[in-house]
Amino acid sequence: MSVLALGLSYRTAPIELLDELAVPRDELPKALADLTAREHVTEAMVLSTCNRVEVYAHVTRYHGGLADLRAFFADWSGRPPEDFVDSLIDHYDDAAAAHLFAVTAGLDSMVAGERQIQLQVKQAVTDAAAEGACSRLLGRVARQALRVGKRVRAETAVSSGAASMVDVGLSAADRAVGDLQGRPALVVGAGKMGGMAAARLARRCNPVLIANRGEAKRAELAERVGGDELALESLTRGLAHADVVVCSTASGEAVIDREQAAAAMAGRGARPLVLVDLAVPRDIDPGCGELDGVTLLDVTDVRAEVDEGAVGEEVAAGRAIVEDEAAAFAAWLRSRGVTPTIASLRARGEQVRQDELERLGSRLSGLSERDRAAVEALSKGIVNTLLHEPTVRLKTLADGGGAGWHAEVVSELFGLAPDEPAGDADGHEIDVDAGDPGGDDAGDPGDVYAGDPGGDDHGGDSGGGDHGDPGGDPGGGDHGEPGAGCDPEGRG
């Protein structure tokens, strides 16, 4: 049972292919159910953003799992595998973990060090856990990935000055239409990326119109940035009024078509219009860019404008941290091979303890509740102390990759059956780290953030940034778009 990552990104695929394979957030339950129903997939999570579509899975074997994930992409896109297989990149076990660590830290991003991806990964694993598709193994990988992202940003300057897709898009718009200062602007989508765009435009443009299908979010964002609301049904009027339009929703289909743009241009005279489409799948019909006076910038165009941001030594330092964390994950993964033996050994010790207490039941019947509790604690302490050393030694041997033979010897010496249930006499799961102060991952396997007080990012990113304001603080960093289409909350 191993971790497999398969997907494509801006490095390997054009935006048209990312469009077709993208998984909008409202379709995630369907996608996750599809994945986990496949023969070799036991857990899955989907990371679908502007710049990548990746599936991380817990698989029973490599080749079977790879075939299942390729088939998923083919079924999802409706295209034969040969159309996109050359764009797919796969990673296995500790390499899969290392890839997710680097992605979360912003080291694989188009803008090196960008902070949006941290929350995108968090949202991806949260959504997967909510659907019952992600538990112990992928939960462990995700927890560590979130820690690694925070560690890289805290210990390096990789995020220093890193721009966001919004910043780069607006810089491109500046060059296309001239200085945006004082010009009217329109933001379509009131999710996190729409919020960032509105916050930045409000500092330079006047007025700023906010269009969004959901009235409550539209009103809240308009009030926050001092903008004006625009009903989605009035988009053509908004297009006729604005000089720059930023669009980022998760509608899954175009919200601005060529006909709307043409109608808007008819009433603008010679004023040029810049459309910035930051969504995947695209929000704006590519045909709009063919109209006279219209400049259309999509994710591909924004990529061409990207400043490399934090490069060189800082990225190398981040990569070193990722390698260190990946090695730790690999050691933990190897230790999983002895976990059944340790669990069975502890289950046997617990069974012997309870059998002996039951055998002495008549002699203990006269004890007070306090004395009974003392006997219970004493017997548990003896078992835990006795088994502590072999538990630690087996884990240490597993870290070095040589525990297989020793695990077999322990099973033979104690007569542990390969399929012996790892539970106590009452059927409760035995904690293989009981009595082991250095034990790992003893939390609730269903909670992907169990035992990770910093991993869920609630306390903000120690590497800097703007976690508290999804609309973007004028002086802060950029966070983003948890889920598909870069902006799942802006339904446009």
Q: Exactly one of 50, 134, 205, 486 is catalytic; name it.
A: 50
Please tell me the distance from the alpha carbon of residue 371 to that of residue 276, in angstroms, as a whole number: 74
Please tell me the distance from the alpha carbon of residue 185 to that of residue 398, in angstroms, as a whole number: 60
Phi-psi region of 309 (alpha: psi -120 to 50; beta: other; left: phi over 0): left
DSSP letters along 25-48, please? GGGHHHHHHHHHTSTTEEEEEEEE
The rounded percent of the chain whose pLDDT value lies above 90 is: 48
- Give the other-Cβ count within 10 Å of 291's Cβ: 16
Please tell me the distance from the alpha carbon of residue 467 to that of residue 444, in angstroms, as a whole number: 27
Strands 185-188 and 89-92, by their bridges, are unpaired
- Model pTM? 0.65
Bond before 281 cis per omega within 30 degrees? yes
Rounded to the nearest integer, the mean pLDDT of the chain is 81
Please, which residues have CB within 8 angstroms of residue 478's CB and are 6 or more apart in sequence? Answer: 114, 115, 116, 162, 163, 164, 165, 166, 167, 196, 465, 466, 472
Read off the pLDDT of residues 106-131 as tens digits, 9 standing for 90 and up: 999 887 888 889 999 999 999 999 99
* pLDDT for 422 beyond 60: no
Amino acid letter, residue 88:
L
Q: Which residue has the higher pLDDT, 73 or 397?
A: 73
Read off the pLDDT of residues 296-340 as tens digits, 9 standing for 90 and up: 998 888 777 665 444 568 888 999 999 999 999 988 877 776 777
pLDDT, residue 402, reads 57
Query: Is-catalytic flag, 134?
Result: no
CB 94 within 8 A of CB 326: yes
